[in-house]
């Protein structure tokens, strides 16, 4: 067999740092009392209703998520309800968790390319949103506000093209930008977008 | 092959200055090549070192002192005392303007373009200015999918009309199959009347295309270029031994593309050779089999060794054993097999391989011999067992005549007829090391899984006698191992000490034993390069 072992060049060892030990720390009694004091303070404050409760009764009560919250993915539609994605593979390239699998195929109509298979392993997804950033045609979004579903088997967490498109709607974004975007962008007050 | 337009006469050089650096080049060299030899980069689209220069793209314009207008460096021969400025403000401005001009009608659909990641236009645009288009008229629209032939699709919109593909057909394949039609911004590449792009070198047009206009149907939409890893190797399709790059990702091979070697294939490769990657992963033998039953590799080896030892005890030292070397296997595999054979005292050696196909041969690259290593296998057999190596007809005759009781076959292609196959099935032991299942794999009683050529390190010797390095690109499936490892394992069971921890050691020993290889060098280990870092190939 062609197995070679690289010689170890550095001798890495564990450095032991001595810490000054006090009696209080050795006994751990002070820490316990301090911790219990915090717990009891919150307990009595809750009982006395001095402050609003810090917990909510999920799932009956739900917090309002901010607009930019990233939930489950969805795939957007064209006007004729076909998939917007052109299988450019920018999202699997950008994905740091390698959770997106795309197999491209020819459409046969005017649009050149589309995904034959588009799968996202939601268990692998780290919800970073880089796929949305990378998408050049507003095909993938994470704005559903939905949480990851409870699954019994790992395979069930892999969402296919049909599942992803079920949540999608028709996107009105214009491919290549609005016709007069160069003029309109001059009116944007933020200099970063000029 | 395309010859350089003006072959330089011997001992005639010119000295010129490029960006202040003095350089001496053979007479007839163009300024672009002279600049490249200095490491000065000049952008270009239509020029290709293996083709003639029509100077149509004007992307390589440089300033020459004393000349009123910038000149195309690919078309301007070097002259004595020439003073060339490639990075002056005028030269840079004019090249940038040419790039903007080229982009006027280019659709810039990089996300769906297969060339993205290895595109010259994309690379130049990103490196140079990345500016927004100043053109606000609608671009000229052309057909997005034109079927040029059985292998290639043209996207006329992306084409920048550099005419490289036309010149590849004319100068490499010697068949005028492509030409320009229409004029001005309607100008487009099309097939010549009554023809289609079907010459045996057609896929070279895809390689030379600096944009994504020409795409191979075989590779179209299969994989993005930036995901691919490249391993330098040699094509195993015929005895020419074209140098190639194996492009693979995540253990699968996606395409083979030519690699420059002026002694063998220059810049080109034939279409049949490119398609050989398909069969690497087809019909593979992934586990050892003894008499049709799948067993662990070690058990199969023990079975074979026991049978051979028993035969040697009963019917003389050679045990009526024959070995079949194969022109499909590497030099190292054949050498090791014949070394074991001579240690065992075997004197029946045969040389197998794919049958020759003279109909596929031409005087450009393709060779009638469909084996990559015929010359090497012959040289090794001649050196280790002089005069003993016979062909496949003799093997068939010996099998049918009952002169053999045991056979050890390397490689997958052994061209035996029905009767010889029936005789093969009657042998006491027949060891068949093969990557692929074929008509022989059911007839033999010991089937060993071997690695295919893209899964091993080693050397091939081409028809010219050049010893060329092949490199491992992907892992073999299942229990499959390189031939040389299987031979070592079986050899050890037969009591022959073989210890070659790597191929290089085996090569060194072989170099001493085989006179033809005395001057050969075992190639360097090259790191696997990701294509996105290798720059554009266009």
* Peptide bond preceding A59 in cis form (omega within 30 of 0): yes
Q: In this predicted structure, what is the pLDDT of residue A4?
A: 45
Among B106, B108, B109, the residue to mutate for chain A (most A Cβ within 10 A): B109
Instruction: Determine the residue of chain B that is closest to A102 in CA distance.
Output: B223
Question: A119: helix, coil or strand?
Answer: strand
Domain boundaries, chain A: 22-55, 74-166
Q: In this predicted structure, what is the pLDDT of residue A42?
A: 86
A74-166: in CATH 3.40.50.970: no
User: Is residue B369 within 8 angstroms of chain A, CB to CB?
Assistant: no
Q: In this predicted structure, what is the pLDDT of residue A181?
A: 67
pLDDT tens track of chain B, all 538 residues?
444 555 555 568 999 999 999 999 999 999 999 999 999 989 999 999 999 999 999 999 999 999 999 999 999 999 999 999 999 999 999 999 999 999 999 988 888 899 998 999 999 998 887 888 888 788 899 998 999 999 999 999 999 999 999 999 999 999 999 999 999 889 999 999 999 999 999 999 999 999 999 999 999 999 999 989 999 999 999 999 999 999 999 899 999 999 999 999 999 999 999 999 999 988 999 999 999 899 999 999 999 999 999 888 876 666 688 999 999 999 999 999 999 999 988 889 999 999 999 998 999 999 999 999 999 999 999 999 998 889 999 999 999 888 888 999 998 888 888 899 999 988 989 999 999 998 888 889 999 999 999 999 999 999 999 999 999 999 999 999 999 999 999 999 999 988 898 899 999 999 999 999 999 989 888 888 888 766 666 5
How many residue pairs from chains A and B have C-beta atoms closer than 8 A?
A: 37
For residue B399, what are its two tokens? 């099998």
Closest CA to B165 of B139, B192, B127, B136: B192
Q: In this predicted structure, what is the pLDDT of residue B526?
A: 85
Selected residues 209-268 of chain B with any CB under 8 Å from a CB in chain A:
220-222, 224, 226-227
Strands (E), B404-531: 406-410, 429-434, 446-449, 458-461, 467-470, 529-530
Contacts of B222 in chain A (CB under 8 A): 104
d(CA B520, CA B512): 10
For residue B515, what are its two tokens? 């006179």
Q: In this predicted structure, what is the pLDDT of residue A11?
A: 57
User: Is residue A57 within 8 angstroms of chain B, CB to CB?
Assistant: no
For residue B521, what are its two tokens? 């060098």
Among B132, B139, B224, B254, the residue to mutate for chain A (most A Cβ within 10 A): B224
d(CA A102, CA A115): 6
Among B221, B223, B489, the residue to mutate for chain A (most A Cβ within 10 A): B221
Burial B127-155 (b: 16+ CB within 10 A, else e): eeeeeeeeeeeeeeebebebebbebbbbb
Interchain contact, A90 vs B144, CB within 8 Å = no
d(CA B23, CA B14): 8
Q: In this predicted structure, what is the pLDDT of residue A21?
A: 77
β-partners of residue B258 are B244
User: Is residue A86 within 8 angstroms of chain B, CB to CB?
Assistant: yes
Strand order in the sheet with B83-85: B21-26, B13-18, B83-85, B61-64, B71-72
Fold entry, domain B13-102? Ubiquitin-like (UB roll) (3.10.20)
Asked if residue B328 lies in contact with residue B392, where contact means CB atoms within 8 angstroms, the answer is no
The alpha carbon of residue B489 is apart from the nearest alpha carbon of chain A, in Å, by 10
Give helix B297-314 / helix B483-493 axis angle, nearest 10°: 50
Q: In this predicted structure, what is the pLDDT of residue B497?
A: 86
Q: In this predicted structure, what is the pLDDT of residue B132?
A: 82
Ranges of residues in chain A with a pLDDT under 70 are: 1-12, 110-111, 175-179, 181-182, 185, 188-194
DSSP label of B458: E
End-to-end Cα, chain B, rounded Å: 20
Query: What's the gap between Cα B375 and its chain centre?
Result: 18
The backbone torsions φ and ψ at residue A34, rounded to the nearest 5 degrees and listed phi first, read: -60, -45
d(CA B255, CA B259): 13
The alpha carbon of residue B522 is apart from the nearest alpha carbon of chain A, in Å, by 16
Instruction: Determine the residue of chain A that is closest to B217 in CA distance.
Output: A106
Strand order in the sheet with B348-352: B293-294, B289-290, B446-449, B429-434, B406-410, B321-326, B348-352, B389-390
- Asked if ipTM goes beyond 0.85, one says no
The backbone torsions φ and ψ at residue B11, rounded to the nearest 5 degrees and listed phi first, read: 50, 45
Q: What is the 3-state secondary structure (H, E, C) of B36-52?
A: HHHCCCCCCCCCCCCCC
Q: What is the CATH number of domain B289-526?
A: 3.40.50.740
User: Is residue A128 within 8 angstroms of chain B, CB to CB?
Assistant: no
Domain boundaries, chain B: 13-102, 110-281, 289-526
Among A1, A107, A112, the residue to mutate for chain B (most B Cβ within 10 A): A112
Interchain contact, B221 vs A105, CB within 8 Å = yes
Q: What is the CATH number of domain B110-281?
A: 3.30.70.20
Helix runs in B4-118, H state only: 31-38, 89-102
d(CA B448, CA B412): 11
Interchain contact, B221 vs A87, CB within 8 Å = yes
Residue B321: its H or E element: strand B321-326
d(CA B399, CA B352): 14
The alpha carbon of residue A171 is apart from the nearest alpha carbon of chain B, in Å, by 19
Asked if residue B379 lies in contact with residue B401, where contact means CB atoms within 8 angstroms, the answer is no
Residue B490: its H or E element: helix B483-493
Interchain contact, A88 vs B501, CB within 8 Å = no
Query: What's the gap between Cα B317 and its chain centre?
Result: 43
Interchain contact, A182 vs B503, CB within 8 Å = no
Asked if residue B445 lies in contact with residue B429, where contact means CB atoms within 8 angstroms, the answer is yes
Positive or negative: CA dihedral B46, B49, B52, B53: positive
d(CA A120, CA A118): 7
d(CA B111, CA A90): 7
Strands (E), B213-295: 214-216, 229-234, 243-249, 252-258, 289-290, 293-294
Q: In this predicted structure, what is the pLDDT of residue A152?
A: 93
Q: In this predicted structure, what is the pLDDT of residue B528?
A: 86
d(CA B22, CA B2): 30
Asked if residue A158 lies in contact with residue A122, where contact means CB atoms within 8 angstroms, the answer is yes
Positive or negative: CA dihedral B53, B58, B60, B66: positive
User: Is residue B145 within 8 angstroms of chain A, CB to CB?
Assistant: yes
């Amino acid at each position: 067999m062609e197995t070679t072992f690289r010689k170890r060049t550095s001798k890495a060892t564990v450095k032991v740092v001595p810490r000054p030990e006090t009696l209080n720390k050795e006994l751990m009694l002070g820490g316990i009392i301090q911790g219990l004091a915090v717990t009891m303070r919150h307990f009595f404050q809750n009982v006395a209703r001095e402050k609003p409760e810090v917990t909510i009764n999920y799932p009956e009560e739900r917090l309002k998520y901010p607009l930019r919250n990233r939930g489950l993915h969805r795939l957007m539609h064209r006007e004729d309800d076909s998939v917007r994605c052109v299988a450019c593979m920018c999202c699997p390239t950008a994905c740091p968790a390698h959770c997106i699998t795309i197999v491209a195929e020819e459409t046969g109509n005017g649009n050149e390319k589309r995904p034959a298979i588009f799968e996202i392993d939601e268990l692998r997804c780290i919800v970073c949103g880089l796929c949305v950033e990378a998408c050049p045609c507003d095909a993938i979004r994470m704005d559903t506000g939905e949480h990851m579903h409870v699954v019994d088997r790992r395979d069930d967490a892999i969402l296919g093209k049909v599942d992803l498109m079920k949540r999608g709607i028709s996107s009105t974004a214009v491919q290549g930008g609005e016709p007069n975007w160069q003029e309109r962008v001059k009116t944007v007050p933020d200099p970063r977008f000029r | 092959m395309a010859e350089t337009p003006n072959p330089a006469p011997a001992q005639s050089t010119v000295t010129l200055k490029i960006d202040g650096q003095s350089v001496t080049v053979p007479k007839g060299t163009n300024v672009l090549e002279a600049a490249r030899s200095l490491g000065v980069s000049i952008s270009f689209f239509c020029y290709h070192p293996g083709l003639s220069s029509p100077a149509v793209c004007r992307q390589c314009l440089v300033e020459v002192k004393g000349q009123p207008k910038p000149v195309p460096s690919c078309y301007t021969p070097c002259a004595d005392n020439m003073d060339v400025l490639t990075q002056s403000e005028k030269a840079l401005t004019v090249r940038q303007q040419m790039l903007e001009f080229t982009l006027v009608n280019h659709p810039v659909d990089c996300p769906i373009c297969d060339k993205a990641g290895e595109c010259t236009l994309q690379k130049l645009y990103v490196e140079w200015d990345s500016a927004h288009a100043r053109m606000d008229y609608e671009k000229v629209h052309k057909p997005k999918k034109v079927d040029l032939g059985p292998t290639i699709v043209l996207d006329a919109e992306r084409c920048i009309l550099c005419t490289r593909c036309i010149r590849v057909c004319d100068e490499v394949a010697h068949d005028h199959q492509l030409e320009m039609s229409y004029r001005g911004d309607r100008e487009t590449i099309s097939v010549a009347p009554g023809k289609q792009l079907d010459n045996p070198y057609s896929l070279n047009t895809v390689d030379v295309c600096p944009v994504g206009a020409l795409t191979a149907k075989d590779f179209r939409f299969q994989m993005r270029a930036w995901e691919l890893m490249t391993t330098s190797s040699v094509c195993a399709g015929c005895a020419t031994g074209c140098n190639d790059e194996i492009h693979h990702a995540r253990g699968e091979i996606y395409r083979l593309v030519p690699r420059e070697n002026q002694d063998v294939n220059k810049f080109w490769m034939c279409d049949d050779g490119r398609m050989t990657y398909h069969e690497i992963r087809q019909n593979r033998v992934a586990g050892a089999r003894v008499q049709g039953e799948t067993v662990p590799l070690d058990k199969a080896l023990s079975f074979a060794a026991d049978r051979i030892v028993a035969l040697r005890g009963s019917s003389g030292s050679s045990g009526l054993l024959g070995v079949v070397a194969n022109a499909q296997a590497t030099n190292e595999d054949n050498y090791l097999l014949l070394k074991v054979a001579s240690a065992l005292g075997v004197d029946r050696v045969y040389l197998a391989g794919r049958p020759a196909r003279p109909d596929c041969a031409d005087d450009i690259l393709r060779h009638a011999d469909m084996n990559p290593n015929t010359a090497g296998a012959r040289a090794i057999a001649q050196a280790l067992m002089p005069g003993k190596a016979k062909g496949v007809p003799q093997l068939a005759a010996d099998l049918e005549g009952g002169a053999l009781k045991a056979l050890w076959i390397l490689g997958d292609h052994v061209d035996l007829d029905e009767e010889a196959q029936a005789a093969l099935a009657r042998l006491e032991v027949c060891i068949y090391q093969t990557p692929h299942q074929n008509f022989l794999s059911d007839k033999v009683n010991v089937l060993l899984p071997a690695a295919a050529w893209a899964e091993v390190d080693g050397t091939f010797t081409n028809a010219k006698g050049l010893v060329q390095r092949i490199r491992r690109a992907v892992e073999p499936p299942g229990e499959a191992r390189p031939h040389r490892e299987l031979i070592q394992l079986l050899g050890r069971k037969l009591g022959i000490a073989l210890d070659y921890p790597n191929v290089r050691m085996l090569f060194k020993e072989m170099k001493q034993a085989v006179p033809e290889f005395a001057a050969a060098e075992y190639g360097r280990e090259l790191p696997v390069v990701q294509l996105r870092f290798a720059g554009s190939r266009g």
